[in-house]
Protein backbone atom coordinates (compact mmCIF):
# COMPACT_ATOMS: atom_id res chain seq x y z
CA UNK A 1 0.00 0.00 0.00
CA UNK A 2 1.04 3.58 -0.48
CA UNK A 3 -0.22 6.53 1.51
CA UNK A 4 0.54 10.21 1.67
CA UNK A 5 0.18 12.29 4.77
CA UNK A 6 1.74 13.57 7.93
CA UNK A 7 3.81 11.24 10.06
CA UNK A 8 3.31 12.32 13.67
CA UNK A 9 5.54 10.97 16.42
CA UNK A 10 4.57 11.91 19.96
CA UNK A 11 7.12 10.50 22.35
CA UNK A 12 7.65 7.37 20.26
CA UNK A 13 3.98 6.74 19.44
CA UNK A 14 3.85 7.14 15.65
CA UNK A 15 0.75 7.75 13.52
CA UNK A 16 0.17 8.26 9.81
CA UNK A 17 -2.34 11.08 9.52
CA UNK A 18 -4.17 10.75 6.21
CA UNK A 19 -6.80 13.40 6.87
CA UNK A 20 -6.92 16.85 8.39
CA UNK A 21 -4.02 18.23 10.40
CA UNK A 22 -4.55 21.12 12.83
CA UNK A 23 -2.24 24.04 12.10
CA UNK A 24 -1.15 24.41 15.72
CA UNK A 25 2.49 24.21 16.77
CA UNK A 26 3.20 21.43 16.99
CA UNK A 27 0.44 20.28 14.64
CA UNK A 28 -2.19 17.82 15.81
CA UNK A 29 -4.00 15.05 14.01
CA UNK A 30 -5.62 11.66 14.48
CA UNK A 31 -4.26 8.89 12.33
CA UNK A 32 -3.48 5.26 11.79
CA UNK A 33 -0.94 3.72 14.19
CA UNK A 34 2.34 3.13 12.37
CA UNK A 35 5.13 0.62 13.03
CA UNK A 36 8.58 0.35 11.52
CA UNK A 37 9.14 4.11 11.46
CA UNK A 38 12.49 5.66 12.32
CA UNK A 39 13.67 9.22 11.83
CA UNK A 40 17.19 7.98 11.02
CA UNK A 41 18.12 9.16 7.53
CA UNK A 42 14.75 10.84 6.97
CA UNK A 43 14.85 14.47 5.86
CA UNK A 44 12.19 17.13 6.27
CA UNK A 45 11.21 16.49 9.88
CA UNK A 46 10.32 19.22 12.34
CA UNK A 47 10.45 18.88 16.09
CA UNK A 48 8.94 20.64 19.10
CA UNK A 49 9.45 19.11 22.53
CA UNK A 50 8.64 15.41 22.32
CA UNK A 51 6.74 15.78 19.02
CA UNK A 52 8.34 15.13 15.62
CA UNK A 53 6.46 15.33 12.32
CA UNK A 54 6.77 15.64 8.58
CA UNK A 55 4.84 15.08 5.36
CA UNK A 56 5.76 11.91 3.46
CA UNK A 57 4.70 9.30 0.94
CA UNK A 58 5.08 5.91 2.60
CA UNK A 59 4.78 2.31 1.43
CA UNK A 60 3.86 -0.59 3.64
CA UNK A 61 1.23 -3.06 4.74
CA UNK A 62 -2.11 -2.16 6.29
CA UNK A 63 -3.95 -4.78 8.35
CA UNK A 64 -7.07 -2.72 8.96
CA UNK A 65 -5.67 -1.16 12.12
CA UNK A 66 -1.92 -0.55 11.77
CA UNK A 67 0.26 0.63 8.89
CA UNK A 68 3.62 -1.16 8.87
CA UNK A 69 6.31 0.66 6.94
CA UNK A 70 8.14 -1.58 4.44
CA UNK A 71 9.89 0.95 2.21
CA UNK A 72 11.92 4.13 2.48
CA UNK A 73 9.71 7.20 3.03
CA UNK A 74 9.82 10.02 0.49
CA UNK A 75 9.30 13.67 1.23
CA UNK A 76 5.79 14.46 0.10
CA UNK A 77 7.07 17.54 -1.76
CA UNK A 78 9.12 15.21 -4.00
CA UNK A 79 6.37 12.65 -4.60
CA UNK A 80 4.59 12.92 -7.95
CA UNK A 81 1.78 10.36 -8.13
CA UNK A 82 -0.50 9.66 -11.04
CA UNK A 83 -3.93 11.16 -10.45
CA UNK A 84 -6.43 8.48 -9.48
CA UNK A 85 -9.10 7.70 -12.04
CA UNK A 86 -12.41 9.49 -11.43
CA UNK A 87 -14.90 6.65 -10.77
CA UNK A 88 -17.72 8.84 -12.11
CA UNK A 89 -15.92 9.41 -15.40
CA UNK A 90 -16.29 13.13 -14.79
CA UNK A 91 -20.06 12.84 -14.95
CA UNK A 92 -22.72 14.46 -12.85
CA UNK A 93 -24.87 12.55 -10.38
CA UNK A 94 -28.61 12.88 -9.95
CA UNK A 95 -28.85 13.27 -6.18
CA UNK A 96 -29.96 16.65 -4.82
CA UNK A 97 -27.60 18.37 -2.39
CA UNK A 98 -30.05 18.32 0.57
CA UNK A 99 -30.15 14.50 0.32
CA UNK A 100 -26.33 14.35 0.10
CA UNK A 101 -26.03 16.56 3.20
CA UNK A 102 -28.52 14.32 5.02
CA UNK A 103 -26.35 11.28 4.23
CA UNK A 104 -23.18 13.18 5.14
CA UNK A 105 -24.61 14.06 8.56
CA UNK A 106 -25.03 10.32 9.31
CA UNK A 107 -21.44 9.34 8.49
CA UNK A 108 -19.62 10.21 11.75
CA UNK A 109 -22.07 8.04 13.69
CA UNK A 110 -21.91 5.21 11.13
CA UNK A 111 -18.16 5.29 10.50
CA UNK A 112 -16.64 7.00 13.54
CA UNK A 113 -14.94 10.36 13.62
CA UNK A 114 -11.56 9.56 15.19
CA UNK A 115 -9.58 9.51 11.92
CA UNK A 116 -9.06 5.73 12.13
CA UNK A 117 -11.36 5.00 9.20
CA UNK A 118 -13.55 7.95 8.10
CA UNK A 119 -11.54 11.00 7.04
CA UNK A 120 -14.18 13.36 5.70
CA UNK A 121 -16.76 13.97 2.99
CA UNK A 122 -18.23 16.62 0.74
CA UNK A 123 -21.04 16.88 -1.81
CA UNK A 124 -20.01 17.73 -5.37
CA UNK A 125 -21.58 17.29 -8.83
CA UNK A 126 -24.55 15.31 -7.49
CA UNK A 127 -22.43 12.82 -5.48
CA UNK A 128 -21.28 12.57 -1.89
CA UNK A 129 -17.51 12.02 -1.96
CA UNK A 130 -16.37 10.09 1.12
CA UNK A 131 -12.69 9.78 2.01
CA UNK A 132 -11.75 6.67 3.98
CA UNK A 133 -8.42 5.29 5.17
CA UNK A 134 -8.95 2.11 3.12
CA UNK A 135 -11.68 0.47 1.10
CA UNK A 136 -11.25 -2.80 -0.75
CA UNK A 137 -14.67 -2.26 -2.34
CA UNK A 138 -16.65 -3.48 0.67
CA UNK A 139 -17.55 0.02 1.87
CA UNK A 140 -18.55 1.14 -1.63
CA UNK A 141 -20.81 -1.90 -1.93
CA UNK A 142 -22.40 -1.12 1.46
CA UNK A 143 -22.92 2.55 0.51
CA UNK A 144 -24.56 1.50 -2.78
CA UNK A 145 -26.85 -0.89 -0.90
CA UNK A 146 -27.76 1.67 1.80
CA UNK A 147 -28.10 4.82 -0.33
CA UNK A 148 -28.44 3.59 -3.91
CA UNK A 149 -26.01 3.30 -6.79
CA UNK A 150 -24.25 6.48 -7.95
CA UNK A 151 -24.98 8.48 -4.79
CA UNK A 152 -21.90 7.96 -2.60
CA UNK A 153 -18.35 7.68 -3.97
CA UNK A 154 -15.87 6.10 -1.55
CA UNK A 155 -12.23 7.14 -2.01
CA UNK A 156 -9.37 5.32 -0.34
CA UNK A 157 -6.43 7.30 1.10
CA UNK A 158 -4.29 4.15 1.05
CA UNK A 159 -3.88 2.67 -2.40
CA UNK A 160 -2.37 -0.55 -3.65
CA UNK A 161 1.16 -0.17 -4.98
CA UNK A 162 1.13 -0.85 -8.69
CA UNK A 163 3.91 -2.46 -10.66
* pTM, to two decimals: 0.90
**71 and 106 share a domain?**
no
Give Cα separations from 41 to 74, 113, 119 (angstroms).
11, 34, 30
Q: What total number of domains does the chain contain?
A: 2
Distance between CA 122 and CA 152 in Å, rounded?
Answer: 10
Residue 59: inside a domain, yes or no? Answer: yes
Distance between CA 1 and CA 161 in Å, rounded?
Answer: 5
**106 and 67 share a domain?**
no
- Residues 1, 135 contacting (CB under 8 angstroms): no
Give Cα separations from 11 to 8, 14, 47, 120 (angstroms).
10, 8, 11, 27
pLDDT tens, the chain, 163 aa long: 999 999 999 999 999 999 889 999 999 998 999 999 999 999 999 999 999 999 999 999 999 999 999 999 999 999 998 888 899 999 999 999 999 999 999 999 888 877 679 999 999 999 999 999 999 999 999 999 999 999 999 999 999 987 5
Amino acid sequence: MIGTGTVMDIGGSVELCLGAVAESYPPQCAGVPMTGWTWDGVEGAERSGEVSWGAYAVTGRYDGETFTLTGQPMLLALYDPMAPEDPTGGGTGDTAEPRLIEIQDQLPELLGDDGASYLGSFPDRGYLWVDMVWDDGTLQDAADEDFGDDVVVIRSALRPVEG
